Amino acid sequence: MTIEKKKSTYCPTSPAVEQAARLLLCLGKNKENDLGLTSICKEIKIHKSKGYSILNALAQYDLITKDPKTKTYSLGPALMPLGQKAREKLDITAIAKEHLQTLANETKASVLLGIINNDQFYIAGKYDGNDKLSVTVRQYQSLHITHGSHGKAIFAFLNEKEQQRIIDSDQLFFHGDSDALDKKRLEQELDFCRRNGYAVDNGEVTPGIKAVSAPVFDHNNEVTAGIVLVGTFAEDKFETFGKMIAATGRIISRQSGAQI
């Protein structure tokens, strides 16, 4: 008779290190103001004396800083080189490269990776799956954040404050020129994108060129980039290519630390 051994659930961890990690994550998630001791301890559910000891220990290594006037805490300068090292390892262009080349090969189209910065969509990578046809968009070229299909895919997942800011700028190129904007149709397209994970452009921005786009999220679950599949493919390919690019976007997002 064989006796099956029970799998051990023992997981060796250090409570103090775990609490320090939760404390740093707490400060990292706070976007408005620095936090005081009471707020931090309430957020991560530890006693104030324990929180005070951990903060003092982290401060010795410049992992956190304390404002002597307000008695509040924020992330410290020692985290900058650590963050840069992690960024290099999790560089989105490096993460995305293999996935996007595979997508280009499977669709026989061109795939672009764009990074969002200051309302611009900077082309950080371009992958061709068809030797006979390549889009004229160049690497490092920039497009407006609302431009065509990637504009819809990005805008659909921005928070309301960011959406309103972009709307107020009056620079809306979702359907080509700003004058061509159809607000009612845009709302339907954004709703479709939220449900299906991709948006399309049926030759409106560039006649004859179709595009399908999906958002890419970072470790804060915020839209940080987008991927665009462009080509002269038939309209009946939208759904097939849309599902493929949405799945690729989710894979890249998860490997970048997003929880989606």
The CATH classification of domain 88-255, taken from the options 3.90.550.10, 3.40.190.10, 2.60.120.10, 3.30.450.40: 3.30.450.40
**Band of pLDDT at residue 8, cut at 50, 70 and 90:** very low
217-237 pLDDT tens trace:
998 899 999 999 999 999 999
Query: Distance between CA atoms of 16 and 11, rounded to whole angstroms?
Result: 15
Identify the weakest region by mean pLDDT among 29-33, 66-70, 105-109.
29-33
Burial environment of residue 8 by CB neighbours within 10 A (0 to 12, 13 to 18, 19 or more):
exposed
Strands 72-75 and 35-36: antiparallel
Query: Distance between CA atoms of 212 and 223, rounded to whole angstroms?
Result: 17
Candidates 121, 129, 130; CA nearest to 149 is 121
The CATH classification of domain 15-78, taken from the options 1.10.760.10, 1.20.59.10, 3.40.30.10, 1.10.10.10: 1.10.10.10
Phi-psi region of 83 (alpha: psi -120 to 50; beta: other; left: phi over 0): alpha
Give the dihedral of Cα atoms 215, 216, 218, 224; nearest 10 deg: -60
Longest dimension (CA), the chain: 79
59-76 pLDDT tens trace:
999 999 999 999 999 999
User: What ranges do the domains of the chain cover?
Assistant: 15-78, 88-255
How open is the CA angle 38-43-44, to the nearest 5 degrees?
105
